[in-house]
Structure 1
């Protein structure tokens, strides 16, 4: 297990700060006891960042900041419960969603330290009910998102579950157990997903003989004094001081958006900002687990070719503006969460929010700039000016042979942007663009004779996705009828009905609303479920379809009851190469 020193020297700042283990009980604000005017100014700047969410008619956030192991500031903004006019306080309890993953990884690491499992174990050693897909998937592949498993939520969606249905561990194991292919060969790519960590939670139970909840309580939460923290394994359980969660309602206002789940590992922890700051401190001082395990947690996984993934044991290791940063975000229902740690500066920032339109990842980084801005670098490439003609030339539909995704770009109001997305692309020169203030790079290749623009996307993960511009013509309206029919997928045990309605293809399956399929060229369409590509038999007739998205590639459905007449008709609309 690799080792590296993570603890920098303790910095005494001349401040009298409250220890994280002893949060005061004031309901509105918990402040470090300090007379330093600079500290007070920082707190006022933090308040200003969250001011838009501090009213009595909106959800909001609880924010906690610690320095050198002492609580610097904690405050609640907005409402915990809009129905009962309950404000958010630092003691409010939130579902932290995917921030939970680091605790699951830590539990696996503890079991590995004790020799009860190996990170090189094939997952089927512990979960023999999973299918043998011809490639070994190790526990390390699960931890580092290099496993190739299809996304659990999308599988259940395609199997007929609604977004507000109860999702159970048994449901997820059922869906994963039916799969007949992976997204990619394990270790060849990194694609973030949830299925792996749900499986890791099951493995903790099978290896330790205790539920993940009981194991984490005994080995993590109680030793660290995280008395308000638990993995929730029963969606009906009463959680004192729990903040409800909300999403915007069409026409204005809010609607309740609390996930119903009886699975955990990938999500499931309820906690407070104070408790989570105690865990952030443990990432520094390793009071529980020891330095070797903490070093492993903060060491990047690697692809088969040695490329670092930037993801450790449930932790993102990408850094921010020239400073080393360890972080993770979370999103489930209306909950939005972020936890940042700057190990070298010993600064931790946690924001737990309960509104789907809040962006805690942006807000916490702005808080970090308040505290560390003088040590940060300006790494944002400057914008360059392009003409309308240069921008509009890049609009169009692009398809990835690797992931089978389609991205659609439009030129509108003088800006290049993704269709139905608010963020405009900022040109940086030499064919490179960034979405808004993001560090992601979308790079267009220059058109050559007989070819149009290509596109490669480099986001926070090291696997670059290459796209080809779709040049096939859109199908004429009469040709849409050739795609009508019923399509069955054994992998999710579901039959889909495709028909023409109001001049467009629509797709429907039991318990789900119809999904409109927008044509992007040839036999390829896009909808809210991703890319739908109709496939052809040797005769030219449509014999099936595949469904793809970033985390679920080419789920196959066979056409039912295709006749020779329909095949002949389909031959009038020949297959295309793109």
Structure 2
């Protein structure tokens, strides 16, 4: 646990910052708040909703937003409540779990150590690691795992993400997490592919990077990130200290009910452990913009910032996702911890961006609707809804698809229940219900979030439902 905590002095700063009053909304802000946009436009019909309507739809108790326009944070606001079983409102100062947005923050700390020569991007990670070593394997015999590979998810290391630790249970140290030994609740981090062979998201790789930072500096990870990223970027409400109850958002399940104890604890600081606010994430984005532009006093020098912003494989750079060209060039990352969902994006060329944080497992739905609303209100070139045309299918074709479909995700059985109605299919899975509109004889799309589903025939001649990147077969 002590590997997670920042110094006592920083903890005092984290909790002592006064609240910032929420100002009256501008006309542009109200346009965002009342014009949330679906991922698709079907048959030319574009739906829109208020933030409050979508929070109710997705059972998300609290949302917080910060908008960046032309290089300045132009407004921030909280909506709803910190916890569904209380009345404390979400404000711009309410801290949320950043989840995987912790990764680009950790990456910038590592890159700042690279540019001063304390770490290397392209040498064997085991040359830096002292407290732990990545086990040798056939995958690393000819090419070692490097920090560049870890930060870009091309190192071939295991463990996609971490479930966190419920309140009251023992919390693992980072070494125990890496070794997969009790009380760690995930397996050991090992190599499963040759470095550079493929892109595969690895929270475990970021925990190796966290250990490299500690072993190279002799300091606690949270202290290093504070000194090299949080303080220089002005992120005064961010840190890794376990917060006092009541000051921070509580996580909620897809049913909108609070998580026992308020939240899970994540000793995996680099991968998932940051507590922050949308305003602080907006400041982080502006700090990266300053570095990308080569401005004096930035958190990274121009050469290091260029390395960060260069995709290694696919659209992933050294920390953030890097997409688009020209004014559409964007650094971004999403986050998903137990009971929390978040999204952050900055367009460094134009200085436009947004950070949205939510305290619900279904927050990913409402936050992307908010991002699309911001994009429309502020004239972004990206995040525009995609137009589709529906097709009419015979009632007996739709009726033949009704019933239960069984699939598997991560070793767990997943059931999708399908029923027809109004010429569409209603698919229910994992406690949520979505309407899918036919766009071809086999394909369908959900108008709210753009999720697709296909009813096809498998190689064995039996019907298959393809959805969520999985295959489902009819229940026997």
Same fold (TM over 0.5): yes
For residues 96-124 of structure 1, what are the alpha-carbon distances to aligned partners after superposition, in whole Å with 9 as ceiling and x for unaligned?
Answer: 11111101111222222233333333333
Question: Does structure 2 conserve the Cα–Cα contact (< 8 Å) formed by 1:324 and 1:344?
Answer: yes
Deviates more, 1:334-343 or 1:421-430: 421-430
CA deviation after TM superposition for structure 1 residue 204, in Å: 0.9
Aligned to 1:196: 205
Q: 2:154 maps to what in 1?
A: 146
- Partner secondary structure for residue 253 of structure 2: strand
Q: Which residue among 307, 323, 340 is the counterpart of 1:335?
A: 340
Alpha-carbon distance in 2 for matches of 1:151, 1:84: 35
Unpaired segments ≥5 residues, structure 2 = 1-16, 37-48, 292-297
Residues 68/239 of structure 1: CA separation in 2 closer, same or farther (3 Å cut) = farther
Within the candidate set 61, 68, 71, 1:69 is matched to 71
Does the Cα contact within 8 Å between 1:78 and 1:88 map onto a contact in 2? yes
d(CA) in 2 for partners of 1:100, 1:63: 17
Asked if 1:92 is matched to 2:104, the reply is: no
Partner of 1:123: 125
Report matched runs for 1:259-270 at 5 Å: 259-270=264-275
Q: Which residue of structure 2 lines up, in the alignment, with residue 299 of structure 1?
A: 310
Matched, 1:223 2:232: yes
Quote the Cα distance in structure 2 between the aligned partners of 1:332 and 1:67: 28
* Other-structure match for 2:250: 244
Q: 1:104 aligns with which of 92, 103, 106?
A: 106
Superposed CA deviations along residues 426-464 of structure 1, whole A, max 9, x for unmatched, are: 44337444455445655666667x64467877x8xxxxx
Deviations 1:343-365 (A, max 9, x none): 44422211222233433532432
Flag as ranges the 4+ runs of structure 1 deviating above 6 A.
161-164, 403-407, 454-457
TM-score, structure 2 length as denominator?
A: 0.72
Structure with greater strand share of residues = 1
Query: Which residue in the other structure is 2:361 paired with?
Result: 356
- Describe how 1:169-180 pairs up with structure 2 within 5 A: 169-175=174-180, 179=188
Structure 1 residues 519-561: Cα deviation after superposition (integer angstroms, max 9, x where no partner): x78xxxxxxxxxxxxxxxxxxxxxxxxxxxxxxxxxxxxxxxx
CA distance in 2, matches of 1:425, 1:410: 13
The answer to whether the Cα contact below 8 Å between 1:131 and 1:179 also exists between their aligned partners in 2 is no
Q: What secondary structure, in the 3-state scheme, does the structure 2 residue paired with 1:266 have?
A: helix
The corresponding residue for 2:51 is: 50
Change (3 A) 1:180 1:113: closer
- Matched with 1:546 is none
Partners of 2:246 and 2:415 lie apart in 1 by 45
Residues 1:171 and 1:318: Cα distance change in structure 2 (over 3 Å): same
Once residues 437 and 184 of structure 1 are traced to their aligned partners in structure 2, the CA distance between those partners, rounded to angstroms, is: 37
Distance 1:162 1:242, change over 3 A: closer
* Preserved contact between residue 248 and residue 254 of structure 1 (Cα < 8 Å): no
**2:300 pairs with 1:289:** yes
CA distance in 1, matches of 2:121, 2:392: 50
Q: How big is the shift at 1:167? A: 3.3
**CA 1:181–1:38 in 2, change beyond 3 Å: closer, same or farther?**
closer
Is the Cα–Cα contact under 8 Å of residues 43 and 73 in structure 1 kept in the other structure? Answer: no
- Give the match for residue 216 of structure 2: 207
> How far does residue 227 in structure 1 lie from its aligned partner after superposition?
1.9
Q: Please name the residue that 2:28 is paired with.
A: 39
Shift of 1:289: 0.7
Instruction: Using the TM superposition, name which of 430-439 and 110-119 deviates more.
Output: 430-439
Q: Is contact 2:407-2:414 (8 Å) kept?
A: yes
Would you say the 8 A contact 1:31–1:72 is kept in 2?
Answer: no
Deviation, structure 1 residue 281: 0.9
Supply the RMSD in Å over aligned alpha carbons: 4.2
Q: d(CA) in 1 for partners of 2:320 and 2:331?
A: 6
| Alpha-carbon contact 1:329-1:361 (below 8 Å) kept | no
Cα separation, 1, equivalents of 2:226 and 2:457: 56
Could you list the per-position Cα deviations for residues 82-108 of structure 1 after superposition, in whole angstroms to 9, with x for gaps in the alignment?
Answer: 666322211222221111110111122
- Tell me: CA distance 1:41–1:166, structure 2 relative to 1, closer, same or farther (3 Å): same
Match 1:30 to one of 17, 23, 33: 23
Query: What is the deviation of 1:279?
Result: 0.9
Q: Report the TM-score when normalising by structure 1.
A: 0.61
Instruction: Tell me the distance in 1 between the aligned counterparts of 2:376 and 2:136.
Output: 51
- The unaligned stretches of length 5 or more in structure 1 are 1-23, 303-307, 460-464, 472-519, 522-578
